[in-house]
Structure 1
Amino acid sequence: MTFRLTLVAAGRSSSRLGERFGDDRPLDSEGRLAAERAAPGLLPLAAAELRYCSPSTRSRETGDALGFTPLVQLALRDCDMGRWAGRSLADVMAREPTEVDAWLGDPRSSPHGGESLHAFIMRIGGWLDTRPAEDHAKMVAVADPGVVRAALMYAIKAPPHCYWNVDVRPLSTVTLTGRAGEWRLRVDGT
């Protein structure tokens, strides 16, 4: 049994410089406008039998703006960043440079007291591997960029440190086909 899952990266909630760990802000005006513009091209994905989204505000708003009416999946939440939640990378680097270096260099470390990168990737992979195994089922999930990266790392069995080498732009899509432990990746574009 195989199925197809298209991941849609949530729209923008802030500029790259304004991003914060565990940020749950809604779509900003640019993000909302971009989602509305992308909706006609992505609307065919709304025909999927199952439509999911991360619990973040921007993922839910993106799913609604695209006409998906997605169901929130708590397992698709972004990485738990512990005490760094709500802070910018620049702020954390200024106050805890050694801890940031450890976090970036060792996928099993969690100096922030939250989830390690390895644990995050495995959590997302566990969700992926437990999707319904109906033959040719079609699903769509709107998720935060980090969740999309984690799913890609798991699906292609890439080492966790490769996570940092993948850039997921708002509203970009990627499709995974297959079944538990046997995934194929198709890049759809932005």
Structure 2
Amino acid sequence: MLVTLIAAARSSSLLDARFDDERPLDAAGWQALEHAIPMLLPLAAAELRYCSPTPCSRQTGEALGLAPLAQLALRDCDMGRWRGMTLQEVTLREPQAVDVWLADPRSAPHGGESLLAFVSRVGTWLDTRPVEGEGLIVAVTEPAVIRAAMLYALKAPPASYWRTEVHPLSVVSLSGCRGHWTLRLG
């Protein structure tokens, strides 16, 4: 099975990126999406098409002609009381909590989901996709979810999450099934 993950077009500038961002695509996101459509349009032939429930993921999926089914498991990490805030804002208010969160993948000082729980949730979603031969699955989701999926597929140490960047409209494919995934680039 091949699962192709597409990072949603942007909903804000990097400096204004917020935890659990529920904003729709911004003008730059729509413009980038228009340029990417010709390259990504063939993915609409996928047998199963999903998206995160966020506005930017749904809008990206619809613009690509996917008519995706929203999946709660593909939502960004639950950031608890930090939801809607930028990392800079949280660091100013709770510097020690941010240090703990970045250092310990089991911690959730914000009251939401730990990094390990987040990666496990995304991995469970991957592992429970229907296995029908060489089927193609496409999902549009937030960059953080794609980072978690790569971490899960590679069985990489949790610190690797902080060393991975996924830009809007990036595409990553994983092949395999239930706990045996391979990262495919190109």
1:107 is paired with a residue whose SS is coil
Specify the alignment match of 1:156 in structure 2. Answer: 154
Distance 1:132 1:107 in 2: 29
Mapped pair 1:120 → 2:118: yes
Deviation at 1:167, TM superposition (A): 0.3
Distance 1:35 1:73 in 2: 21
For residues 8-23 of structure 1, the aligned pairs below 5 Å read 8-23=6-21
Specify the alignment match of 1:75 in structure 2. Answer: 73
For residues 1-190 of structure 1, the aligned pairs below 5 Å read 3-188=1-186
Amino acid paired to 1:121? V
Q: Deviations over 1:132-159 (max 9, x none)?
A: 0111010100010000000000011011
Contact 1:11 1:32 in 2 (8 A): yes
**How much identity, in percent, do the aligned residues show?**
62
Deviation at 1:33, TM superposition (A): 1.2
Amino acid paired to 2:41? L
TM-score, length-normalised on structure 2?
A: 0.99
Q: Deviations over 1:7-59 (max 9, x none)?
A: 00000100000011111100000101111211111111000000000011100
2:185 is paired with a residue whose SS is strand
Q: Deviations over 1:96-129 (max 9, x none)?
A: 0000000000000000000000000000000000
Distance 2:101 2:8 in 1: 24
TM-score, length-normalised on structure 1?
A: 0.96
Q: Deviations over 1:149-190 (max 9, x none)?
A: 0000001101111101000000010110011111111123xx
Distance 1:106 1:162 in 2: 12
Distance 2:29 2:90 in 1: 26
Distance 2:163 2:53 in 1: 25
Contact 1:54 1:72 in 2 (8 A): yes
Deviation at 1:68, TM superposition (A): 1.1
Distance 2:92 2:2 in 1: 43
